[in-house]
Structure 1
Amino acid sequence: MQRTLFWLIALSLPLLLFLLLEGAVRLLFPAQPLPLFKPYPANPAYLVTETQIVKRYFPAGAAVPRVELEPSFVLAQKPANGIRLVVQGGSTAAGYPYGMGAALAGMLEQRLRRTFPERPVEVVNTALSAVNSYTLLDFADEIIALKPDAVLIYAGHNEYLGLLGVGSNYLAARSPRLSRWLLSLRQLRSFQLLEQGYLQLRPPAQLNGNSRTFMAQVARDKAIALDSPTYQAGLTQFQANMSRLLARYRAAGIPVYLSTIASNLADQPPFQSEPLTAQQQQQLLQLSQLREPAAQQALAAELQQTAATTGHALLHYQLGQWYRQQQQFAEAKVQFIQAREHDLLRFRAPLAINEQIKVLAQDYGAVLVDTEAAFVANSSGGLIGSNLMLEHLHPNVQGYFLLADSFYRALYQRSAFGVWPRPVPAELAWQERPLTPAEEYAGYLRILQLTSDYPFKATTTAVTFPTPNDLSQQLALLHVQGKLDWLSMQNRLAEHYHQQRNGDMLLKTLLIIADALPHDGKANLQAAQILLQAGRKAAAKHYLQRALLTDPIPELAQKLMQQLN
């Protein structure tokens, strides 16, 4: 007994000393916590997401990529009859390059609020550019604390070249276990001070210049071959982190809707590939000139064999284009998939990630949302390309609507939240999509910026924006140039629509503003008034309830609510 007690004391002393040290360090060198959700000072009824949450993954003073989380507001106290969903993922889930209106959270919340006019609906966005499964797992406990009715996940493209990706300049460690351990240690103040001291001794170099895009800064490993150790490490990382994430939600009793991911196959050449040899170029030219079907198929089969043997991404892609021109879409798809699989610069997730997603959903009881299949079904010949994609993997507005529609249908089919009183047809939801023309044009301009740099261009090229044709484009240009903030852009659009007596666009714009600022009494009262004019009393009541949570409470909001009750 005495020996056991001795060993318990001996083993406990180092832990006790460390806890004392950590407590002393926190007292002497306090640091502001960086929670995912923090109280909103202007309205204590709300929490708001931390826009600079990415700093959680870097020591103080380190070079941090310019990645911000769009502010998303959520009631501090969940309403008894409320519907609350949380979205997790990377830049696609976040709605890049359009912003919150195109994001899964924005489009889905607008449609669900129409579906459940008598219930408070909150779809909370925690998705942000460049993050991968480490960040999803790191956010889990804070998301569980919100008591959501479900978590919606669209992620998988950033396991190689995202933050903490296996081929990234922003790498934590070489193994998932060690990376997770380091992220846990970073919550300790003593470890934070050690990191800061190390940085002072060895300050980090700036990565490729602050003016370049994140894609130009992030890629350390530019040649990750299929089935190479680094390739396998990315799959292992995703599998390990997502398994822990889904297990955590299952233990908390929170349903998860897990989506497959889509990328541009038909209209995105490989970013990194061996160049075509002179012989291969000549054979491809010959293939395009042949008219005899037998000769065409023989030469195509020869080139396929060469591409398969050498793993030549660009040759696979060019063969895909030939089959596409011949309207042999099944053969074209095979070649395009192989072109992506052998692309050495892995900004697009390989096929294996979607295969893992399907197995994970089955193993952990998540609802599989097959967004990729929806994109295939809505693409000519089943080839996902520029009809739904802006570049390598970010959807256009139609693509984003299809993404949100896939989740909406999955929720409806599972009868999530009970009886659905007013399912909203896709045609109406598309017409009411929460994006103004200025936001859509701003997205177009941001893609011009993105594709002017690596890996779309070998070197940075100057961006020349088109001359604006109307007020929406003028405002969008000023916004992208940093000369006009988002709210000012929307307010000026609202003024314009009011002057033009365009009631539909005025209604849409005022609702977009109110949904972005649920804590703002004036904005929500304004939205309620125009909804009442349109005869939508149930929807108006929702915005009036928001206005009543502000301080001071708008007097008119009280009067209108009394009339509705």
Structure 2
Amino acid sequence: MNKTSKPQIYIFYAIAVFIPVLFFLLIELGLRVTGYGKDYPLFISNPAHESYVLPRPDIIKRYFPDNADLPSVTMEANFLLAEKPDNAYRIFVQGGSTAAGFPYGLGASIAGVLDQRIRQSMPGVHTEVVNTAMSAVNSYMLFDIADDIIEQQADAVFIYAGHNEYLGLLGIGSQYTVAGSGLITRWFVRLKDLRVFQLVQSIIFKFKQSPENHSLEKTHQDSRTFMSKVSKHKEIASDSSMFEAGINQFETNMSILLDKYEQAEIPVFLSTIASNLKDQAPFASAQAEPEFASKLAQFKSALSSLSSQQAKQTAETLSISLKNSISGNLHFDFASLAHQLGAFETAKTHYLLAKEHDLLRFRAPEQINETIRNLATKYKNVTLVDAHAALVQRSPNRIIGNNFMLEHLHPNLTGYYVISNSFYEAFARSQLVKNFKKVSIDLAWQQRLVLPAEEYNGFASIVKLKSDYPFVDTPQTPKLPRPADWQQQLGKQLYEKRIDWLTMMQKSLERYRASNQLDKAYKTLQILADALPHNGLYNLQTAEIMFKEKRFTESLHYYRRAKLAGAIGPKIDSNISFLESKFTKQAS
């Protein structure tokens, strides 16, 4: 019997490997030729004007098969030029709902606030601060869309993220998870664009979904908030393997993300994150241990016989023992009591422990911020933005509560400006841009692009959020106060979906002009110009107003957009030439 030579064996092995690979490639090619499956690039052409692209609102479809019930989250439309000009600086913002400006919208978002402010700081430069943040996003989607951002020639990236690692999309404790393994989920993210993968995913989904149950469940779920639907694992203790997996998931995915930007030589500004400590009790808690519950009860009983100073000292002593409790509710109860007594450091310690032992992980544990700080130290292209410290510094007794937060973690308008200012100051200190002219936070606040109607819609959205799980056990009908004026009435109509956002803004513009409230009319016009860069009239009117107010940097921006949108006239060309000449002289 002839022996098979080693070269022949290697050939047989190669053929054995090659045949299934070839089979797979042929199926993939066949599916693509027949038009099966879809690609979901992050940036798509603006149907109203091909000179612009925008982040696709339905980017969430990347992660779900056809006919699946998608989470009710979208990426808000904002625009950048399809071709980056030579004299341009592009910043992209990544993150979840806070980075996206919930519940107010783009005007309160990090990108929305900084787009105007950074433009004023960089005269003559075409600046674009682009929002790619969206509710429920966690680190899986952050690294998944990084290549799309790099392709758009990003000059810098701002990141505010970390609250959604457990209960966000693909999060380890989420209803929308793929697997309990971070490794498997990362492979899912990498393979999802293959048509073979999409076919298998679709087949599995069809077998898992019962049409009758699907219809009944969808009818019931449509009116519920995302928070009420997303929680699969409602009790994730800080000493559990799932808790540790969430931290590892964040660190691994963020490292992948930052590796991409490091290789592309893109500076990253990575922020710590914040949540409500003082005014948000744990959503879920372990029962208080009898030993600690008894000590706290004894302390409460003795308070009436203690002086103010004695009560504070006793609270500080008791704190040493109670730190060992794993009951979030006990810590929150004691923290609230210590706060009333003026023992603020003790109160802060136990507010933090209350959050750490909150079993329903909608708020990020402290290890997320520790990971963020470590990553900022590890990567040379990463600058730490300490938004958490900025909020703490401006909070009474250095404890974040309803002074900045609307509920568990979404800021009010003031809070959003503190967070955005943290990015702005870090960017200014980086000296990435020469001749950076700082704009004060007071002026930025005065020029904020959020209308009262949007504020009311945001208020109503929070009322709805807090009328459902986990804020209450069973869903309730939101009760809204009667609108105080026509602005709030428009906001209520938007909330009730009786009008869309564009109609609300156009009606606001009409009313402000009719009542001669010119400052608000100008602000509304600017918001419309930013929302519709292809609208020549809105952009031209905004440019002319800015020119009269000697806001020349912004005026040039809107004149150029108006001209690109088709506006013509000798005055437009004359003013553009004047402004370009002015900024050229300043730069020389």
Query: TM-score band, normalised by the shorter chain?
Result: over 0.9
Q: 1:291 deviation in Å?
A: 2.2
- Alignment partner of 1:524 is 2:536: no
Match of 1:554 among 557, 560, 567: 567
Percent identity over paired residues: 44
| Deviation by residue 1:8-48 (Cα, 9 ceiling, x = unmatched) | 34322322221111000122243342111011122111111
Which residue identity does 2:427 align to in structure 1?
A: L
Q: 1:219 deviation in Å?
A: 0.6
Secondary structure of the 2:235 match is coil
Aligned twin of 1:436: 451
Q: 1:323 deviation in Å?
A: 1.8
**Conserved in 2, the CA contact under 8 Å of 1:307 and 1:313?**
no
Q: Which moved more, 1:504-513 or 1:373-382?
A: 504-513
Aligned twin of 2:492: 477
| Deviation by residue 1:457-513 (Cα, 9 ceiling, x = unmatched) | 111111121111111101100011101111111111112221222222122111111
**Conserved in 2, the CA contact under 8 Å of 1:61 and 1:199?**
no
Aligned twin of 2:109: 103
Q: Which moved more, 1:369-378 or 1:118-127?
A: 118-127
Q: Measure, in 1, the Cα distance between the counterparts of 2:15 and 2:200.
A: 28
**Conserved in 1, the CA contact under 8 Å of 2:312 and 2:341?**
no
Which residue identity does 1:538 align to in structure 2?
A: T
Q: 1:296 deviation in Å?
A: 3.1
Q: Measure, in 2, the Cα distance between the counterparts of 1:16 and 1:463.
A: 58
Match of 2:245 among 233, 236, 255: 233
**Conserved in 2, the CA contact under 8 Å of 1:43 and 1:519?**
yes
Match of 1:129 among 135, 143, 154: 135
Q: Measure, in 1, the Cα distance between the counterparts of 2:140 and 2:100.
A: 17
Q: 1:3 deviation in Å?
A: 4.6
Aligned twin of 1:167: 173
Match of 1:155 among 146, 158, 161: 161
Q: Which moved more, 1:40-49 or 1:226-235?
A: 40-49
1:32-431 equivalences in 2 (<5 Å): 32-203=38-209, 205=214, 206=217, 209-274=221-286, 279=294, 282-283=297-298, 285-286=300-301, 288-292=303-307, 296=311, 300=315, 304=319, 307-365=322-380, 366-420=382-436, 422-431=437-446
Aligned twin of 2:4: none
Q: Which moved more, 1:238-247 or 1:512-521?
A: 512-521
Aligned twin of 2:510: 495
Q: TM-score scaled to structure 2, two decimals?
A: 0.92
Q: Measure, in 2, the Cα distance between the counterparts of 1:45 and 1:5.
A: 53
1:3-42 equivalences in 2 (<5 Å): 3-42=9-48
Which residue identity does 1:555 align to in structure 2?
A: I
**Conserved in 2, the CA contact under 8 Å of 1:114 and 1:424?**
yes
Q: Measure, in 1, the Cα distance between the counterparts of 2:250 and 2:332.
A: 27
Q: 1:117 deviation in Å?
A: 3.1
**Conserved in 2, the CA contact under 8 Å of 1:507 and 1:531?**
no
**Conserved in 2, the CA contact under 8 Å of 1:94 and 1:128?**
yes
Q: Measure, in 2, the Cα distance between the counterparts of 1:362 and 1:309.
A: 31
The gaps in structure 1 that reach 5 residues or longer are none
| Deviation by residue 1:421-442 (Cα, 9 ceiling, x = unmatched) | x310111111001111111121
Distance 1:284 1:417, change over 3 A: same
Paired residues, number: 561
Secondary structure of the 1:83 match is strand
Q: Measure, in 2, the Cα distance between the counterparts of 1:481 and 1:119.
A: 41
Q: 1:350 deviation in Å?
A: 0.3
Secondary structure of the 1:518 match is coil
Q: 1:185 deviation in Å?
A: 2.2
Q: Which moved more, 1:292-301 or 1:3-12?
A: 292-301
The gaps in structure 2 that reach 5 residues or longer are 1-6, 578-588
Distance 1:19 1:489, change over 3 A: same
Which residue identity does 2:173 align to in structure 1?
A: G
Which residue identity does 1:255 align to in structure 2?
A: P
Distance 1:288 1:189, change over 3 A: farther
Q: TM-score scaled to structure 1, two decimals?
A: 0.95
- Alignment partner of 1:533 is 2:548: yes
- Alignment partner of 1:457 is 2:469: no
Q: Which moved more, 1:426-435 or 1:295-304?
A: 295-304
**Conserved in 1, the CA contact under 8 Å of 2:58 and 2:75?**
yes
Secondary structure of the 1:548 match is helix
Q: 1:326 deviation in Å?
A: 2.2
